[in-house]
Chain A
Amino acid sequence: MASPSAPAGAAPAVSVPLSRNGKHTVEEVESITIRFAGDSGDGMQLAGTRFTDTAAILGNDIATFPDFPAEIRAPAGTLAGVSGFQVHFSSHDIHTPGDILDALVVMNPAALKTNLRDLKKGGILIVNVDAFGQNDLDKAKYKTNPLEDGSLAGYNVIRVAVSKLNKESVKDCGLSPREQDRCKNFFALGLVYWLYERPLDSTLKWLKEKFGRKADHKPVLDANTAALKAGYNYGETVELLPVQYKVTKAKIAPGLYRKITGNEALAIGLVAASHAAKKTLVYSGYPITPASSVLEDLSQPEMRRHGVRTLQAEDEIAAIGVALGASFGGAIGVTGTSGPGICLKSEAINLAVMTELPLVILDIQRGGPSTGLPTKTEQADLLQAMFGRNGESPVAILAPQSPVDCFDIAYEAVQVATRFMCPVFVLSDGYIANGSEPWRIPDVSKLPKIEITHATKPNSEGTNGATHEGGEGGGMFLPYKRDLYLSRPWAIPGTPGLEHRIGGIEKQDVTGNINYEPANHEHMTHTRWKKIENIALTIPELEVLGDADAELLVIGWGGTYGSITTAVDRVRKSGKKVAQAHLRYLNPMPKNTEAVLKRFKKILVPELNSGQLCWLLRAKYLVPAEGYNKVQGRPFLVSEIETAITNKL
């Protein structure tokens, strides 16, 4: 595999004689990483999303990384208000949004200042020169104008009067001057489409669908269409660059594809699981970055048609209470939040542990502690999920490794929760929640079955793997009589003859009656752990990728999969041996985990925290695992992990 950020125009590029209009050469490159950056109000997220869709539809592999400030509209033009959207598109299989930019579009000086460090030397820098007045420079704290002071030497700077040209192109569409200016993201997008020889069709179609239905939206439709085309034609006409770059289709597995973000995949995965289980999905959340979009998605009219019941709760505590109550009532109860919300939900998670009801808890991790870095990514809630409650409180913990994997993990979380009657954590993160990639749409008929058995009659007689102590019986319902996996029966209120009471007080095994006896408490504590450990009997073993005979194993979890995988590939390509494993199940871990770890002399654990999985592995398995850690609110660069691996070899 070539470097995901293979230099544009450099080897292994192939020169094709001339472009369609015969004016430029077209160079074929393997992959390109580009970032749109501007003020939060400049529409950079939208421009990036449209560019991504076009690349995906053209058959490139894609990975994206939106990066925006916590402030919705920080003062315009300031460093705090810069919003960026990075797209990596390629003619081969890619796993990350790219480390280094081949091209950067900046709409103002603040965007230039905060993003330039990520642009490679010689990279293309498209600058909106109209936004470089003294006032703009002051806001970005530039003492001299970078366009004039020589500080951009070494970059391929393309100066474009984006604001002026855009206004000129949309002046007849019937918008106010302010509205006209808001089209400039589409002018810039058109320009970039030209640069990478992308057709405008899918964006024009999108505009038509979005604004073509209502007559009063017509000026918006016309103006954005005009701006997009003007940007494209400008590139073509003025010969901005002597070359255009072309990224051909990727060789990806045949099938039907769509683009999907991690949070979209979670929402869809939950709905698919509820269909498979023939159950109502009840989702309750409280608005919190970066988890809100799951509640937003699930409350769409489309989702109403799937019978999804949502409730935006008054607080995080209520949200989980609603989800747990729904589970008690026989539905698939799910709540979603980020780290600060998990703090508030801890008590109710313990109630789910104690009452042994199914519950799915999505934690879209962000930088912490406290309010921390709301819009930035981190993997620092692992130990909170594992231990962050009073008493001994075992829960299942799953972690998706990519945006696409969020679908599978959501589906599996429902399977585990309902099969084992336990709370299941899904530890996603801001990086994969907002990042997107192509998703091969699965064949619904081939999705795993989710068969749920509810108790329908008294169970005090007969054996099902549990020992029934004491003399009760004779057609009673025993809510804590366990099956082979130690899971208890799920009896739904409304079922005649199975009336029973559950709660947070310690209970006698089998009968479920309140019980404070010392030996019973110890037995129940161990049983709750054992039940969670039994999940390992039903999940796939840990797979080792790369060189099985290497000295070094690189093991990670969750959203770092893409960067670790790419780094391991690069190291192996350079002729060195290294093995890789990635945990999707953190509690319990796959049953061969210890055996895998003990096969390697050295173990490296890259994490976006201070070493939480590393701590767990060392504590559980007494292995010499060492961490490679980053806690900057940003994902790993592939090069960082590559260096860390190389240093261990």
Chain B
Amino acid sequence: MSATALPTLTVKDLTTDQEVRWCPGCGDYSILAQMKKALLNVGVPREKMVFVSGIGCSSRFPYYMNTYGFHTIHGRAPTVATGLRLANPDLQIWVVTGDGDGLSIGGNHLLHVLRRNIDLKILLFNNEIYGLTKGQYSPTSRTGTPSKTSKTGSLETPIRPLTIAIASEATFVARTVDVDVKHLTETLKRAADHKGAAFVEIYQNCKIFNDEVWAYATDKSVKADNLLYVEHGKPMIFGKDRNKGIRLNGLKPEVVEIGKDCQIDDLMVHDEQSEDPTLANLLSRMVAPQFPEVIGVFRSYRKPCYEELLEKQINDNIAKKGKGVVEDLFKAEDVWTVE
């Protein structure tokens, strides 16, 4: 393959000889399949792709991708991926994590990897449950969720993953759904194309321990009324009959009926490129059934990455005084000669 030609990959190229061990019906199968499709035409050869994961069902992902992969320890994938990025600016690095791995044990790392804007694509498979340990409530489980460790209902307020990502200054924030294969593939491609820390929340169904937790967002009969697909520059319209929209009332969004409560021009228009996080934050806090939940790219803007700034410091210092020479380093302090 020449250096300039875009590599063309097949799904088979990206498939390993390892048996996939997720439970039948798991949403992860769809994500794996769409990931392979999304990567066929991103213009990156597979030896330059790396999948880094933590611990949990989602974190088995690297074993099934015929690329470089590192299955690390619980919650720490962002740290290992950061080091890999510092060592190598040419790779396309994906971090695969889940709600427990990314937001509980690894919550601190997620916050910092986003604020540093390390060029990584972080996928958070959100199934609102601990699957690999067999069904304990997770930091995204809704209040009242019954589980093995919350038989009488979870007492905690769930984390909203995208609110956290936006607050952590992520430069690309998106949400998609495991079974919406077209949107999922498109979103993964957008994340692949983004330079900087990209964070994608994927609604993912756990067939065994939290089945149908996303039914309102996947069941054909109701999902149109529960999801709002946003596109940059377009008004926020949703509903089975495309007759509902989101209007801003003071500082609060409200659901309105087009033609009855307002006209299309009165609706909020999506702006994913704004550096101001207010709109994205507001969208991240819309929760069904009061609101439709937002699917799509919440924000996407370019800001220098940590590793780019570091590289610049290195180059600037070299430009000023030349490349470092070991002999000079030894003599950086006062020296004297003993004869």
The answer to whether B324 touches A302, judged by C-beta atoms less than 8 angstroms apart, is: yes
Interface string of A161-173 (1 = CB under 8 A from B): 0000000000000
What is the CA–CA distance of A532 and B327 in the complex, to the nearest angstrom?
33
The answer to whether B112 touches A314, judged by C-beta atoms less than 8 angstroms apart, is: yes
Residue from B82, B90, B332, B335 in contact with A256 in the complex, judged by beta carbons closer than 8 Å: B335
B233 to chain A, nearest CB (A): 36
Task: Say whether B42 faces chain A, with CB atoms less than 8 Å apart.
Answer: no
The answer to whether B84 touches A257, judged by C-beta atoms less than 8 angstroms apart, is: no
The answer to whether B334 touches A258, judged by C-beta atoms less than 8 angstroms apart, is: yes
The answer to whether B326 touches A503, judged by C-beta atoms less than 8 angstroms apart, is: no
Which residue of the partner chain A has the closest CB to B69? A501
A282-B86, A305-B322, A326-B83 known; A494 vs B108 contact (CB < 8 Å): no
Task: Say whether A466 faces chain B, with CB atoms less than 8 Å apart.
Answer: no
The answer to whether A307 touches B68, judged by C-beta atoms less than 8 angstroms apart, is: no
Task: Say whether B155 faces chain A, with CB atoms less than 8 Å apart.
Answer: no
A307-B314, A498-B47 known; A325 vs B323 contact (CB < 8 Å): no
Which one, B59-67, B159-167, B190-198, B251-259, is touching chain A?
A: B59-67
The residues of A that contact B82 with a CB separation of less than 8 Å are 311, 318, 321-322, 325
The answer to whether A305 touches B47, judged by C-beta atoms less than 8 angstroms apart, is: no
The answer to whether A318 touches B71, judged by C-beta atoms less than 8 angstroms apart, is: no
Task: Say whether A284 faces chain B, with CB atoms less than 8 Å apart.
Answer: yes
Interface residues in A297-330 by Cβ distance below 8 A to B read 301-307, 309, 311, 313-315, 317-330
Which residue of the partner chain A has the closest CB to B82? A322
The residues of B that contact A493 with a CB separation of less than 8 Å are 47-48, 50, 68, 84, 88, 91
Which range holds the interface residue count of chain A?
35 or more
Interface residues in A506-521 by Cβ distance below 8 A to B read 513-514
The answer to whether A329 touches B73, judged by C-beta atoms less than 8 angstroms apart, is: no
The answer to whether A314 touches B108, judged by C-beta atoms less than 8 angstroms apart, is: yes
The answer to whether A268 touches B18, judged by C-beta atoms less than 8 angstroms apart, is: no
The answer to whether B47 touches A347, judged by C-beta atoms less than 8 angstroms apart, is: no
What is the CA–CA distance of A326 and B79 in the complex, to the nearest angstrom?
10
Residue from B46, B70, B78, B330 in contact with A503 in the complex, judged by beta carbons closer than 8 Å: B70
The answer to whether A441 touches B330, judged by C-beta atoms less than 8 angstroms apart, is: yes
Which residue of the partner chain B has the closest CB to A307? B314
The residues of A that contact B69 with a CB separation of less than 8 Å are 499-503
The residues of B that contact A500 with a CB separation of less than 8 Å are 68-69
The answer to whether B314 touches A321, judged by C-beta atoms less than 8 angstroms apart, is: no
A493-B68, A495-B47 known; A202 vs B334 contact (CB < 8 Å): yes
What is the CA–CA distance of A497 and B62 in the complex, to the nearest angstrom?
16
Task: Say whether B241 faces chain A, with CB atoms less than 8 Å apart.
Answer: no
The count of residues in chain B whose C-beta lies closer than 8 Å to any C-beta of chain A is: 61
The answer to whether B83 touches A282, judged by C-beta atoms less than 8 angstroms apart, is: yes
The residues of A that contact B63 with a CB separation of less than 8 Å are 501, 503, 514
What is the CA–CA distance of A444 and B18 in the complex, to the nearest angstrom?
48
What is the CA–CA distance of A255 and B87 in the complex, to the nearest angstrom?
37
The residues of B that contact A513 with a CB separation of less than 8 Å are 18
The answer to whether A254 touches B87, judged by C-beta atoms less than 8 angstroms apart, is: no
Which residue of the partner chain B has the closest CB to A279? B87
Which one, A39-47, A53-61, A227-235, is touching chain B?
A: A53-61
Task: Say whether B5 faces chain A, with CB atoms less than 8 Å apart.
Answer: no
What is the CA–CA distance of A503 and B50 in the complex, to the nearest angstrom?
13
The residues of A that contact B30 with a CB separation of less than 8 Å are none
The answer to whether A255 touches B337, judged by C-beta atoms less than 8 angstroms apart, is: yes
The answer to whether B333 touches A253, judged by C-beta atoms less than 8 angstroms apart, is: no
A318-B76, A325-B82 known; A330 vs B88 contact (CB < 8 Å): yes
A349 to chain B, nearest CB (A): 10
The residues of B that contact A259 with a CB separation of less than 8 Å are 333-334
Task: Say whether A348 faces chain B, with CB atoms less than 8 Å apart.
Answer: yes
The answer to whether A318 touches B112, judged by C-beta atoms less than 8 angstroms apart, is: yes
The answer to whether A315 touches B108, judged by C-beta atoms less than 8 angstroms apart, is: yes
The answer to whether B337 touches A330, judged by C-beta atoms less than 8 angstroms apart, is: no
B88 to chain A, nearest CB (A): 4
Task: Say whether B282 faces chain A, with CB atoms less than 8 Å apart.
Answer: no
B102 to chain A, nearest CB (A): 14
Which residue of the partner chain A has the closest CB to B21? A514
Residue from B88, B91, B108, B334 in contact with A53 in the complex, judged by beta carbons closer than 8 Å: B334
Which residue of the partner chain A has the closest CB to B16? A501
The answer to whether B83 touches A504, judged by C-beta atoms less than 8 angstroms apart, is: no
The residues of A that contact B329 with a CB separation of less than 8 Å are 268, 271-272, 302, 306
Task: Say whether A333 faces chain B, with CB atoms less than 8 Å apart.
Answer: yes
What is the CA–CA distance of A444 and B331 in the complex, to the nearest angstrom?
12
B60 to chain A, nearest CB (A): 9
The residues of B that contact A252 with a CB separation of less than 8 Å are 338
Which residue of the partner chain B has the closest CB to A357? B70
What is the CA–CA distance of A323 and B317 in the complex, to the nearest angstrom?
23
The answer to whether B108 touches A441, judged by C-beta atoms less than 8 angstroms apart, is: no
B93 to chain A, nearest CB (A): 9
The residues of A that contact B313 with a CB separation of less than 8 Å are 301, 304
B74 to chain A, nearest CB (A): 8
Which residue of the partner chain A has the closest CB to B72? A351
The answer to whether B326 touches A325, judged by C-beta atoms less than 8 angstroms apart, is: no
The answer to whether A501 touches B70, judged by C-beta atoms less than 8 angstroms apart, is: yes
For A351, A495, A501, A505, which residue has the most chain B Cβ atoms within 10 angstroms? A501
A302-B324, A442-B330 known; A325 vs B336 contact (CB < 8 Å): no
Task: Say whether B103 faces chain A, with CB atoms less than 8 Å apart.
Answer: no
The answer to whether A501 touches B86, judged by C-beta atoms less than 8 angstroms apart, is: no
Which residue of the partner chain B has the closest CB to A350? B73
B107 to chain A, nearest CB (A): 11
The answer to whether B324 touches A494, judged by C-beta atoms less than 8 angstroms apart, is: no
Interface string of A57-85 (1 = CB under 8 A from B): 10100000000000000000000000000
Interface string of A532-572 (1 = CB under 8 A from B): 00000000000000000000000000000000000000000
Interface residues in B295-339 by Cβ distance below 8 A to A read 306, 310, 313-314, 316-318, 321-324, 326-327, 329-339
The residues of B that contact A59 with a CB separation of less than 8 Å are 336, 338
The answer to whether A496 touches B87, judged by C-beta atoms less than 8 angstroms apart, is: no
Task: Say whether A331 faces chain B, with CB atoms less than 8 Å apart.
Answer: yes
The residues of B that contact A305 with a CB separation of less than 8 Å are 314, 317-318, 321-324
B67 to chain A, nearest CB (A): 5
What is the CA–CA distance of A256 and B330 in the complex, to the nearest angstrom?
10
The residues of B that contact A503 with a CB separation of less than 8 Å are 62-63, 69-72
B314 to chain A, nearest CB (A): 5
What is the CA–CA distance of A231 and B51 in the complex, to the nearest angstrom?
65
A304-B317, A318-B76, A322-B82 known; A444 vs B326 contact (CB < 8 Å): yes
Task: Say whether B294 faces chain A, with CB atoms less than 8 Å apart.
Answer: no
What is the CA–CA distance of A328 and B81 in the complex, to the nearest angstrom?
9
The residues of A that contact B16 with a CB separation of less than 8 Å are 501
Apart from A317-B109, A498-B47, A502-B71, what 13 extra A-B contacts exist at CB < 8 Å? A253-B338, A256-B337, A258-B336, A302-B317, A318-B78, A318-B109, A325-B86, A326-B83, A351-B73, A444-B326, A444-B327, A496-B45, A513-B18
Interface residues of A (CB under 8 A from B): 53, 56-57, 59, 202, 206, 249, 252-260, 268, 271-272, 275, 280, 282, 284, 301-307, 309, 311, 313-315, 317-331, 333, 347-348, 351, 355, 441-442, 444, 492-505, 513-514
Interface residues of B (CB under 8 A from A): 1, 16, 18, 45-48, 50, 52, 62-63, 66-73, 76, 78-88, 90-91, 108-109, 111-112, 306, 310, 313-314, 316-318, 321-324, 326-327, 329-339
Lowest 7 A-B CB distances belong to which pairs? A325-B83, A321-B79, A503-B71, A329-B87, A306-B324, A501-B69, A325-B80
Instruction: Pull 28 A–B residue pairs with CB atoms less than 8 Å apart, ordered by A.
Output: A56-B336, A256-B336, A257-B337, A258-B330, A260-B333, A271-B324, A301-B313, A306-B323, A309-B314, A314-B108, A314-B112, A321-B76, A321-B79, A322-B80, A327-B83, A328-B84, A329-B85, A329-B87, A331-B87, A444-B326, A493-B48, A493-B91, A499-B68, A500-B69, A501-B62, A501-B69, A502-B70, A504-B73
